[in-house]
Chain A
Amino acid sequence: MNLNSFVMRLFKNKVHFSAVLLFLIGGCNEIIEYSPYKAGVKSPDEDLNIKAMEQISEFSQSEFRPFKLGLVGDSHTYYDYYEKQIRQLNKHDDIDFVVHLGDITLSGIYREFIWFRDITAKLNHPMITIIGNHDYLSNGEYMYQEMFGPLNFTMVYNDCLLVFFDNVIWEKNVEDPDFDWLESVLEEGQDYRYRFVFSHIPPWSDQFNTGNEYYFNMLMDKYNVDLSIHGHTHNYRYKQPYDTGPPYLVVSSSQKGEIFFLHVEEDGFYPGREDY
């Protein structure tokens, strides 16, 4: 059978078959999926944190100016609830940007990342996303780095130091968080007006052993961190659990139906909580 007769036969006999195929290819988003364990994204979905930070830095000032952050976390696969959170955040025009405190997926597989991206794209503010323990599952660790960028990073906004720190332990086969990196960035950041640290797991929670727990708080205390912000436990907390060190804020998971804020003012800062 030569090529010509092959094509003729395809068009004569299999026209319906081909039409359905073409419809499927054109009609569905992400129709080709190589593996749920794939760690790679198509442009423009790569380095979303880096792009968000570039966008944020355009309206950052060199001296202090009050600002307001939106905070969400642990959206997992609570997609309907997460959509509501995004809609609620869009009602606040005074938010400078939003931070997601990790666990953007349930199993760290490909389409969970794609669905998160699709919902987050509806947000009117830039969003910075940190990695959570669930995002480490399967090849999520690599997919996160393709889609968002490095695991540990810092940003200076309106003369405030914002540290984004990956403190997942068990999913890295019981590897301690990179405290040396955290210490070095905090040491250099002593001259800023405020220092805020964002990490997924609160130090009193399951994955931290006693040594890591006190070491984490010791660093917060030693380098005058003003507030440590977390997710992971799915419930709201705002407390100062240790004799020394900063207050800790834990934001609840998406299905609790609340969004959080961090108001940073001239004379201090305070968290906000809004249910809807």
Chain B
Amino acid sequence: MRYNTATKHILLIALLLITKIGFSQSTGDQYRQGISIEEKPAVQYDTILIRKGWYIPDHLKLQYAGLIGFMSIGAGYEITDRYEPTLFYGLLTEHFGGSSVTVHTISLKNSWKLFRPGLLGDITPKAGFSVNLGFTNNTFHRLPAHYPSNYYFQNRIHVAPFFGGEWKINMSGDGFFNAVGLYTEMSTLDNYILEFIRTKYVTIDKIWNLSFGVSLYIN
């Protein structure tokens, strides 16, 4: 079998790469081993550290109103000091909010603290947007086959921007929760913003709604 020059070059580069990766791996391992030998314990031996599993969220929320149902429950994480996403499930029924048809909503609320935590004491202004997934009689991500293309725009996913604030009360003791927060938010919906932009009738005061909630921070 004969190789032409290009194939030879490719083989040569591949060989070099493999050897290099192999070497770097082994040196990396040696390096890590070296570190671990010299590592000193950061805490005293009599201190017990309990690390939360990833499946335990940083906070739980219970919310009233706010486009995602009469009541909704959520759990989320504090990814950074400022960014905290929360996944909500909201319910609206005939006896639970006065809707003749039951509505289930899944919502991912992306919330950012507007200022450095602690700057305004125990009040934290927040803003962000929720991505809401609704399940109704006539919501679709992709149009059913019997419609001509572009007959309707997708209406399963709505984006709901919000702003609001939370009053966080720290709790003493080593309980499961270390703080409780009371929050309120004003939110609106992508469709409502669109009508605010393109009509004079829909003014800024017509598009907002108010919600209240409680946050529980897990120790």
Contacts and interface: CB of A to CB of B under 8 A. Distances in A.
Contacts of B195: 77, 79, 112, 115
Interface stretch (A135-143, A234-242, A261-269): A135-143
Main secondary structure of the interface of A (DSSP, over half): loop
Interface in A109-159: 109, 111-112, 115, 119, 136-142, 145-146
Interface in A1-32: 1, 14, 17, 21, 24-25, 27-32
A222 B151 CA distance: 33
B205 A28 contact: yes
Given A115-B202, A170-B144, 5 more contacts: A34-B67, A79-B195, A115-B201, A170-B146, A206-B148
Given A111-B192, A141-B138, A171-B138, A36 B158 contact: yes
10 contacts: A17-B123, A24-B186, A28-B208, A35-B92, A35-B134, A38-B103, A79-B200, A80-B200, A106-B191, A173-B144
B69 A174 contact: no
B165 interface: yes
A115 B206 contact: yes
A36 B134 contact: yes
Contact of B92 (A34, A112, A115, A136): A34
B184 A34 contact: no
Contacts of B165: 17
B147 A39 contact: no
A96 interface: no
Contacts of B184: 21
A165 B201 CA distance: 30
Contacts of A38: 92, 97-99, 103
Contact of A142 (B98, B137, B186, B208): B137
B99 A31 contact: no
Interface string B119-140: 0000100000000001011110
B215 to A, nearest CB: 16
